[in-house]
Amino acid sequence: MIKLGVIADDFTGATDIASFMVNAGWNVVLFNGVPHQAFDASNTDAIVIALKSRSIPANEAVEMSLAASDWLQKQGCQRQLFKYCSTFDSTAQGNIGPVTDALMKQLNTAVTLICPAVPDNGRTIINGHLFVKGELLNESGMEHHPVTPMKHSSLKKLMEAQSVGRCGNINLETVKNHPENIAAEIDARLADKVRYLVFDVLDNQDLLTVARATEEFPLVTGAAGLGYAIATLDSEKASANKQALQIEPQGPAVVLSGSCSAMTNQQVDFYQQRASSLALDVEKIINDPAYLQTVSGWVQSHANESTAPLVYATQPPQLIELIQKHYGAAFVSTKIEAFFAQLAQSLAGAGFNKFIVAGGETSGAVTQGLEIDGMIIGEQVAPGVPWTQVLNRSQWVILKSGNFGNPDFFLKAQEHYHE
């Protein structure tokens, strides 16, 4: 029985919440986009649908999200969670507000939860204000985000600016010391015509209190921490049914890194001292049609080594800037993503069955190249970064956002299948 259907507004966020729920004891399947057919979910606690809807026009995001919700309902899933980033990435036009309003209408509910809190990652809520590692959201660096600059920390202000209703807060004193009063507080907010409830959350215990208080809500919204709390409340029953993901040690693996984040740079530096590595030549990616075959051949020549070969486009910021100035940033990015997609496809055809991928855009490209529609979520290598098995295939993929993991991440990932 599906206990929760999750609609995520980006792919790495989808794997993030899926891995949190697996860590709490649930069996979880993730789909890349809305599936085209029904799914046998007899041993599945939660289904996550990954969309790319965070920064597209609001009407398109609404349309995609409603399609996902409709499919989940048809699978017998009546309770849903709209998953967005723990820094509430959105603008005054959306997309969190419009999507939430549309889902509330579709699921016929007058109230929902707004909960981006992830205490394990330093995302807390005090007096309705969102904090990032102790800093107010609008003073955390997110105020300079190029696509979704966050100019306020008040979730009330942020939500009301992009939605059609009022937002109310239930404070930390009630959450932490008087949880028995929460039901009455909710009723009072409803009487006051509040549609969106923000609970203060300082730690994981508070998050469990919030999940318990809203477990009858048809729709809740928030970040990965909320998924973890919901699954944890059901942990006794879930743990009895949990199935560990088995990764075959047979078959070659490859590490593909396209992220240019500070942590991925450290991971590449650490790993290339311990394994065969190849830095991609961006000029050749753009100008040499035979370069794909050259790189694929190089990877295959290192297939039998004890550590997986690394192919990386990760570069120092100064070099990236020079290349982008010459060709244009969007053009270079598109070319690199397409190259990784084609490389993954080529290597899969050559028998590679394990792919360790770093970078959000690179992860999306590899997913596309391997034609992955869905995956079973397995054990975490780092918080929010699980191994996954492609549905109906003996093929395993790990997709890592740029700044996730420690410097030894690529080696740690391989410990999960080495005999």
Average pLDDT value for residue range 285-292: 94
Question: Using CA atoms, how far apart are residues 329 and 270, in angstroms rounded to an integer?
Answer: 27
pLDDT of 210 > 80? The answer is yes
Residue at 355: amino acid letter? F
Which two three-digit tokens encode residue 12?
């790495």
Residue at 29: amino acid letter? V
Return the pLDDT at 315. 65
Residue at 68: amino acid letter? A
Answer whether 108's CB lies under 8 Å from 66's CB.
no
Q: What is the pLDDT of residues 103-141, one digit of tens each?
A: 999 999 999 999 999 998 899 999 999 999 999 999 988
Q: Enter the pTM of the model.
A: 0.84
Answer whether 98's CB lies under 8 Å from 162's CB.
yes
The neighbouring-strand residues paired with 130 are 125
Residue at 76: amino acid letter? G
Q: What is the pLDDT of residues 151-205, one digit of tens each?
A: 999 999 999 999 999 999 999 999 999 999 999 999 999 999 999 999 999 999 9
Question: Using CA atoms, how far apart are residues 272 and 267, in angstroms rounded to an integer?
Answer: 9
The neighbouring-strand residues paired with 114 are 221
pLDDT of 297 > 90? The answer is yes
pLDDT, mean over the chain: 92
Going along the chain from its start, the domains and CATH numbers come out as 4-241 (3.40.50.10840), 253-414 (3.40.980.20)
Return the pLDDT at 114. 98
Return the pLDDT at 302. 98
Answer whether 123's CB lies under 8 Å from 87's CB.
yes
12: pLDDT confidence band, cut at 50, 70 and 90?
A: confident
Handedness of CA 123, 125, 129, 135 (dihedral sign): negative
Q: What is the pLDDT of residues 312-350, one digit of tens each?
A: 986 666 777 787 788 887 788 889 999 999 999 999 999
Handedness of CA 40, 16, 151, 206 (dihedral sign): positive
Handedness of CA 198, 199, 200, 206 (dihedral sign): negative
361: pLDDT confidence band, cut at 50, 70 and 90?
A: confident
Q: What is the pLDDT of residues 79-101, one digit of tens each?
A: 999 999 999 999 999 999 999 99
The neighbouring-strand residues paired with 131 are 124, 136
β-pairing, 80-83 with 4-8? parallel
Return the pLDDT at 316. 65
Element (H, E) at 129: strand 129-132
